Chain A
């Protein structure tokens, strides 16, 4: 494990006090690299929290340029960056927060052609993509490469998070065997609702990586900020799952 510098010890002192985390957890986090796809309303706040917590390296995959309609939730993009690449905005913001962070930015969305390469280079994947084709591509690669994936999603006032550990928990294709026909590329969203799912996902990742253990393996956290209901529901592996059924 990498040693913590005096600056890192000072920066992370308050979270090192957390029982079960400590300096060993901080060292593990420093040694970790994560893929975030994409860096929008979910991935942006998630990247911020991982950067603040001291993760060693982030790979951020997100194509396209910043649009006005991004700015109600995509906090790694700013008004001054309108019309410019999202992939350049996130690293700039994250390094302002944590100059020790190594950030690799990829100006592509995850797809079947690049998923293997992107997943190979990291220890964990945070799925924040708006399309199920991207989510399924990452899921299949995570299962093939035996890497955990934190699955965060939201719609309107509601959010869902679960932790996928290949061979132990249901994978995304166990949960949803086909591309959900009702899902549309554009959806109602408040930034605070997607950020909430992002923070839950960030903590699941931090706990998993640091050895504290995840809480949402085999369970899906559902919340509704309209009614402020929060509940966990069990989710089960599918023995005939074409992606993970053989594990």
Chain B
């Protein structure tokens, strides 16, 4: 199935794009999708978004179709879902 990803702040810079479509296996969850995105974008992106266990870092806000995702990353996904990733910033 196809899902959409949207990247903001440092996640966007790390990915080198504001968003993309990814094809993931049917039945995939949020964690699977982010793992697929990390495989695509490399170690910097992975370290920014995921911890060593593959869970989403607490400093990343994750929305699935505009709704805050579960912190355990076990949100189920359906074809056409949109995942947004926003990193914490503090500059001034």
Contacts and interface: CB of A to CB of B under 8 A. Distances in A.
Interface string B56-89: 0111010100111001000000000000101111
B92 A128 contact: yes
Given A178-B59, A222-B8, A233-B84, A129 B90 contact: yes
A234 B67 contact: yes
A130 B88 CA distance: 12
A176 B59 contact: yes
Contact of A183 (B13, B61, B90): B90
A155 B89 contact: yes
Given A176-B59, A233-B63, A182 B92 contact: no
B48 interface: yes
Nearest to B92: A42
A80 interface: no
A52 interface: no
A152 B92 contact: yes
B61 A182 contact: no
Residue among B48, B57, B59, B86 having the largest count of chain A Cβ atoms under 10 Å:
B59
Given A41-B92, A181-B59, A182-B10, A222 B87 contact: no
Q: Is the interface of B mostly helix, strand, loop or mixed?
A: mixed
B91 interface: yes
A177 B92 CA distance: 21
Contacts of B84: 233
Contacts of B8: 158, 222, 224
Interface residues of B, number: 25
A166 to B, nearest CB: 19
Contact of A158 (B58, B59, B61, B89): B89
A222 B86 contact: yes
A57 interface: no
Contact of A227 (B18, B71, B86, B92): B18
B9 interface: yes
19 contacts: A42-B92, A43-B92, A153-B88, A160-B86, A180-B88, A180-B90, A181-B57, A182-B47, A182-B59, A183-B88, A183-B89, A183-B90, A189-B91, A222-B86, A224-B8, A224-B12, A233-B86, A234-B66, A236-B68
